[in-house]
């Protein structure tokens, strides 16, 4: 996990402070109040509160002694089969300190565990049920073997809604004495896409430059182009002005320091706003997928983006094939 100072500084300490996962929090809180819970599996995108909720569970269960009863292994740790057999087992076989009958082991990004390590984890979960509960977090639950999934209560986290994101922005602005323009807030939401961790990173970076945060400052430091500029590139291409569109795209990439993949992701969002028929929009989005595949396979990103722009030019005259 790559946490900024602000990510840790504004991490919630109780259930009421967690934003965007109301139903999940309600169910987890019920487990904590009973001081009895099953193994848990949290899955979902980065920055949506999986680690935060695990830490809140530990604090609410164990109080001041939570550090003695909580083991966290994250992406920076080696987590092959030996770690599961040794470090996890050693922690799991001892009883908890206090009146809670179990300890908690939190394994972050456990979809990166090898299949062998997951099999060892499955056996450990079986053998130490009396003294330990596991909280597993992953981005893709499909990468977790079925025997582990069947032993856990599965909770699927979602990206934060706009209202929740704005509440977090206002809270940080209040405590850090920041002035954030309304357009800057909209830009923060668009760029973070509901990822609270990325939101905190961007705010921390921009506040180091200026306490008055504007839309221009957000886009200049967030490695993202304004949607309006991407739309201008596509609009020029639709009007069959290929050379102008190509020059504008190159300027945008150089000004913001964007990679081909970054640009393509923004292009995909703006296609829906183009003044072309719906069939052409669908075909262009399909071509976005083809272009991204070629880029990830190692093709030259400028060549691929130029080829995509030529397809957009053809869409303006309805000649996609």
SS3 105: strand
The CATH class for the domain spanning 227-316 reads mainly alpha
Q: In the chain, which residues fall in CATH 1.20.272.10? A: 227-316
The predicted structure's pLDDT at residue 109: 87
Going by C-alpha positions, the residue among 236, 224, 298 that lies closest to residue 264 is 224
Model pLDDT, residue 321:
46
- Residues of the chain within CATH 3.40.50.300 domain(s) are 5-156
Residue 233 has a pLDDT of 93
**CA-CA distance, 107 to 117, in Å (whole number)?**
12
Take residue 278 and report the two structure tokens written for it: 């719906």
CB atoms inside a 10 Å sphere around CB 319: 10
List the chain residues with pLDDT less than 70. Answer: 1-4, 6, 75-81, 317-321
pLDDT at 128: 86
Q: Any idea which fold 5-156 has? A: Rossmann fold (3.40.50)
Compute the CA torsion angle 204, 164, 230, 259 (nearest 10 deg): 50
Res 98: pLDDT: 77
* Domain ranges in the chain with CATH number 1.10.8.60: 162-221
Per-residue pLDDT tens digits for 49-93: 899 999 999 999 988 888 888 988 875 566 666 777 777 778 888
Domain 162-221 sits in CATH at 1.10.8.60
Q: Let me know how long the chain is.
A: 321
b/e map 158-171, b = 16+ CB within 10 Å: ebbeeebbbebbee
Number of neighbours of residue 43 by Cβ within 10 angstroms: 23
Predicted TM-score (pTM) of the model is 0.79
**What DSSP element (H or E) covers 73?**
strand 70-73
Retrieve residue 125's tokens.
């979960």
């Amino acid at each position: 996990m790559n946490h900024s100072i602000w990510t840790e500084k504004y991490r919630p300490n109780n259930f009421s402070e967690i934003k965007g996962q109301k139903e999940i929090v309600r169910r987890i809180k019920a487990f904590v109040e009973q001081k009895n819970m099953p193994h848990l599996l949290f899955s979902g995108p980065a920055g949506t509160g999986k680690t935060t909720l695990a830490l809140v569970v530990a604090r609410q269960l164990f109080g001041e002694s939570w550090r003695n009863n909580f083991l966290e292994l994250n992406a920076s740790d080696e987590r092959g089969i030996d770690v599961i057999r040794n470090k996890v087992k050693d922690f799991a076989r001892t009883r908890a300190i206090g009146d809670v009958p179990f300890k908690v082991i939190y394994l972050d990004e456990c979809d990166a565990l090898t299949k062998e390590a997951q099999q060892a984890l499955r056996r450990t979960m079986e053998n130490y049920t009396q003294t330990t509960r596991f909280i597993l977090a992953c981005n893709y639950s499909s990468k977790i073997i079925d025997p582990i999934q069947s032993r856990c209560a599965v909770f699927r986290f979602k990206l934060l809604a706009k209202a929740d994101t704005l509440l977090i922005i206002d809270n940080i602005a209040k405590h850090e004495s920041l002035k954030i323009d309304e357009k800057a807030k909209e830009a923060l939401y668009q760029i973070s896409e509901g990822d609270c961790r990325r939101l905190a990173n961007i705010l921390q970076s921009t506040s180091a430059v200026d306490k008055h945060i504007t839309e221009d400052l957000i886009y200049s430091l967030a490695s993202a182009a304004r949607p309006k500029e991407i739309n201008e590139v596509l609009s020029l291409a639709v009007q069959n002005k290929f050379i102008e569109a190509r020059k504008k795209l190159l300027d945008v990439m150089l000004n913001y320091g964007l990679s081909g993949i970054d640009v393509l992701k923004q292009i995909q969002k703006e296609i829906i706003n183009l003044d072309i028929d719906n069939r052409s929009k669908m075909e262009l989005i399909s071509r976005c997928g083809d272009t991204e595949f070629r880029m990830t396979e190692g093709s030259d990103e400028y060549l691929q983006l130029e080829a995509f722009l030529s397809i957009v030019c053809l869409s303006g005259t309805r000649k996609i094939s």
